[in-house]
Amino acid sequence: MAVRTLLVANRGEIALRVFRTCRRLGIRTVAVATRADRGSLHARSADATVEISSYLSGAEHLRAAAAAAADAVHPGYGFLAESAAFAASVEEAGLTWVGPPPAALRLGGDKLAAKRVAREAGVPTLPEGVPELVGYPLLVKAAAGGGGRGMRVVRSPDALEESLAAARREAEAAFGDGTVYCERFLERPRHVEAQLLADAAVVYVLGLRDCSVQRRHQKVVEEAPPNLDAEAARSIRAAAAAFAAAIGYRGAGTAEFLVDGRDVYFLELNGRIQVEHPVTESVTGLDLVELQLRVATGELLELGEVGERGHAVEVRLYAEDPVTFLPQAGRLVSLVLPQGIRVDAGVESGDEIGTAYDPLLAKLIAHGATRDEALDRLGAALDATRADGLTTNLPFLRWLVAHPAFRAAELSTAFLVDHPPLSAPPLRRLPPPFAGAWRLNLPAPAPAPAPPPSAEGGGAAPGPGVANAVTAAMPGTVIRVEVEAGETVEARQTLVVLEAMKMEMPVPAPFAATVTAVRVAPGDQVASGAALVELEPA
């Protein structure tokens, strides 16, 4: 049965992306919006809009679907997109669920269950389990979600307890499930993923993407196809198809892998459409949202052999600091987006960007006959982009696309560690092994003075003869205060923990000191630059 009215149980850029395909297909659209989102672009763009209390409430989405006479629900990405319980409730309500079957979501959406199934299907995975067996460094991960929420790198046992607790809180806030687990952490792998699409008869692997350049475990640039060894590419395709078949997958999804030299490890299945799906659409000519709708109504696609044409690169324009990657808030006074390439935007000029949700403003996707041509077009498009009124990562994106190491496809998940954001590129390219990280066995240097404050939370504003105020580097909510007046603290000891965009940001002490005043309490909303704690240097 064809879909007539579709409710998108999501917000922002992905809701607008789904609306666009629906308009082309003649499908009526329904938006949902929380009170904070009532004036948002996606709420203004649908044929009907229903206010809900939370994007994480399945009951609210079902109420909205009934109120707007929707006959289908598309979950987008994030929120409840990979919730088997929500998928089942949509189907029990007699609505068409535009996503994988609930049983496949239970197996594939739980990352621990997915890894067990993968091993049974002969797909290699990274070791996971108790920290003592996994070893350090290890990665704490949320079992029920992705996008960097609920993830922490732990390099020593003394940091484990705090990292586990923070990851659980983030996972609960973002996905409604605080389950986390530990797996081995690889320092410099590549992150490569396979785009899956399955109907009732065939599992298609529509292509691969390289998503290695990341910050806070979230991707900032994606491209297709990846510059990858042919054998590794074949292994990823075969493993992705085998895993999808093993769980009875239907619809669009992504199997994610880490590539470390010649070794390929299955990471997880994302049982939903991905933020980076436009690069696959650009090289295949397919509309993945349309294909999702066709599979949801029971159609057999009969796609045959899907080829790839040229190269595509996507970058994500965020409201965040271009060096620290901390989220920013404010009014987007003017947004000028480029012509000549694909742009998937979630906001427009005049919109308010708050701290409650992901700070993604738009995605810019360039296609060319070659990788160099696609990057040239993307660089020109970024030069033509303007975002006035709040801080964005636009300078960082321009820097990244022009960076000689990125242009040479020297990619890994540690790219931004090896090449700090907005740092000057080397004057000339060095040959291996000197192009990578290396050191001389020289005597240890003399102890350095106290380091500057961590970029993850706040800074100190010194004043002669007075206490130093540690300030908020971003707007957010105070969720914990770790110190009190009169307490002595060490350099980099956590003072306050802020939360913004469902992410926790610890604010450390910039030096050894005595706390002279605490200016905030849990639950306080603070603006960027607000004083949090005052210190007297030791």
Task: Give the phi and the psi of residue 15 in degrees, each rounded to 5.
Answer: -60, -45
Q: Is the pLDDT of residue 456 over 50?
A: no
434 within a domain of the structure (yes/no): no
The Cα 461–Cα 430 span in angstroms is 39
pLDDT score for 220: 93
Helices (H) and strands (E) in the chain, counts: 15, 31
Residue with more model confidence, 447 or 491 = 491
Question: What percentage of residues in the chain have a pLDDT greater than 70?
Answer: 91
Least-confidence region, from 12-26, 121-135, 225-239? 121-135
* Cα–Cα distance for residue pair 121/280, rounded to 1 Å: 26
For the segment 466-479, what is each residue's pLDDT rounded down to a tens digit? Answer: 457 898 877 788 88
Residue 438 has pLDDT above 60, yes or no: no
**Whole-number Å distance between alpha carbons of 434 and 432:** 5
Residues in CB range of 356: below 8 A, 6 or more apart: 34, 36, 501
Q: Which of 185, 208, 226 finishes a domain?
A: 185
Residue 311 shares a structural domain with residue 218: yes
Q: Could you tell me if 213 and 132 lie in one domain?
A: no
Tokens matching residue 149: 């929420």
What is the Cα–Cα distance from 51 to 69, expressed in whole angstroms?
Answer: 15
Chain centroid offset of residue 243 CA: 23
Q: Is residue 441 part of a domain?
A: no
136: number of Cβ within 10 Å: 16
> Does residue 432 register a pLDDT over 70?
no
**H/E element holding 335?**
strand 334-336
- pLDDT given for residue 454 in this prediction: 40
What mean pLDDT is predicted for residues 6-34? 98
Res 458: pLDDT: 52
Structure confidence at residue 435 (pLDDT): 57
User: 108 pLDDT band (50/70/90 cuts)?
Assistant: confident
481 vs 456, which has greater pLDDT? Answer: 481
Mean pLDDT across 449-453: 39
Q: What is the pLDDT of residues 41-86, one digit of tens each?
A: 999 999 999 999 999 999 999 999 999 999 999 999 999 999 999 9
Confidence tier at 538 by pLDDT (50, 70, 90): confident
Distance CA 20, CA 37 (A): 20
pLDDT band at residue 356 using 50, 70 and 90 as cut-offs: confident
Edge-to-edge strand order for the sheet containing 5-8?
48-51, 28-33, 5-8, 72-74, 96-97
Counting every residue written for the chain, the total comes to 538
CA distances from 201 to 96, 100, 207, 243 (A): 19, 14, 19, 15
Does 233 share its domain with 166? no
CATH number for 122: 3.30.470.20
Q: Which residue has the higher pLDDT, 133 or 318?
A: 318
Task: Check if the beta carbon of residue 212 is closer than 8 Å to that of residue 190.
Answer: yes
Domain boundary among 397, 418, 439: 418
**Whether residue 414 sits in one domain with residue 392:** yes
Please give the pLDDT value at position 324.
87
- Predicted confidence at residue 428, as pLDDT, reads 58
Contacts of 256 (CB under 8 A, 6+ apart): 191, 192, 193, 211, 266, 267, 268, 269, 270
Q: Are residues 401 and 530 in the same domain?
A: no
Q: How confident is the model at residue 177, as a pLDDT?
A: 82
Q: For residue range 498-536, what is the model confidence (pLDDT) as tens digits?
A: 877 556 778 889 888 999 999 999 988 888 788 999 998
407: which DSSP letter? H
Of 103, 101, 115, residue with least CA distance to 143: 115
CATH of the domain at 14: 3.40.50.20
Q: What Cα–Cα distance (Å) separates residue 438 from each residue in 136, 284, 417?
A: 21, 40, 14
Asked if 241 and 380 sit in the same domain, the reply is yes
CA distance 451 to 471: 16
The pLDDT of residue 145 is 64
Position 436 in a domain: no
Q: How far apart are CA 50 and CA 67, in angstroms?
A: 8
Query: Which letter does DSSP use for residue 431 in this model?
Result: P
Residues 116 and 154 in one domain: no
Same domain? For 140 and 238 the reply is: no
Write out the H or E segment, with its range, that includes residue 154.
Answer: strand 152-154
Are 282 and 402 found together in one domain? yes
Residue type, 374: A
Q: How far apart are the first and last CA of the chain?
A: 72
Peptide bond into 225 cis (omega under 30): yes
Q: What is the mean pLDDT of the chain?
A: 89
Domain span including residue 171: 128-185
* Residue 481 located in a structural domain: yes
User: What are the tens digits of pLDDT across the range 235-258?
Assistant: 999 999 999 999 999 999 999 999
B/e letters for 307-340, b = 16+ CB within 10 Å, e = fewer, are: ebeebbbbbbbbbbbbebbbbbbeebeebebbee
* Residues 280 and 206 sit within 8 Å (Cβ to Cβ): yes
Q: Are residues 264 and 291 in the same domain?
A: yes
Structure tokens at 148: 């960097």
> How far is CA 217 from each of CA 128, 146, 288, rounded to the nearest angstrom?
18, 9, 25
| pLDDT given for residue 288 in this prediction | 98
Identify the H or E element spanning 329.
none
Mean predicted confidence (pLDDT) in 138-157: 80
Structure confidence at residue 147 (pLDDT): 60
CA distances from 533 to 31, 359, 461, 498, 522 (A): 42, 26, 11, 13, 13
Between the CA atoms of 170, 175, 177 and 178, what dihedral angle is there, to the nearest 10 degrees? -10
Say if residue 193 is in the same domain as residue 341: yes
Query: Does the pLDDT value for residue 446 go beyond 50?
Result: no
> For residues 152 and 120, what is the distance between their CA atoms, to the nearest angstrom?
27
What is the per-residue pLDDT for 149? Answer: 73
Decide if pLDDT at 492 tops 90. no
pLDDT above 90 coverage of the chain, percent: 63
pLDDT over 60 at 434, yes or no: no
- pTM for the structure as a whole: 0.80
Written as one letter, the residue type at 488 is T
| Other Cβ atoms within 10 Å of 124 Cβ, number | 14
CA distance 335 to 345: 10
Of the residues 418, 441, 466, which one is the last residue of a structural domain? Answer: 418
Predicted confidence (pLDDT) per residue in 163-176, tens digit: 888 888 888 877 77
Q: Are both 390 and 261 inside the same structural domain?
A: yes
What pLDDT sits at residue 113? 80
Residue 163's CATH number: 3.30.1490.20
**Amino acid code (one letter) for 215:** R
Sheet bearing 251-260, strands edge to edge: 263-270, 251-260, 190-198, 203-210, 221-224, 311-318, 360-368, 342-345
Answer yes or no: is 370 within a domain. Answer: yes
**Quick check: is 394 in a domain?**
yes
pLDDT at 114: 82
Bridge partners for 316 per DSSP: 363
Question: What pLDDT score was predicted for residue 179?
Answer: 85
In a domain, 164, yes or no: yes
Q: How far is CA 498 from CA 79, 356, 382, 477, 479, in A?
A: 21, 12, 31, 5, 6
**CB-side exposure of 534: number of CA atoms within 13 Å?**
10
Q: Residue 449: inside a domain, yes or no?
A: no
- Residue 465, pLDDT > 50, answer no
Select the more confidently predicted residue: 164 or 370: 370
Q: Name which residue leads in pLDDT, 454 or 306.
A: 306
Q: Residue 214's Cα: distance from chain center in Å?
A: 9
DSSP conformation class of 3: -
pLDDT at 440: 47
Give me the number of domains the chain comprises: 4
What are the phi and psi torsion angles at 331 (to 5°)? -95, 130
The predicted structure's pLDDT at residue 406: 97
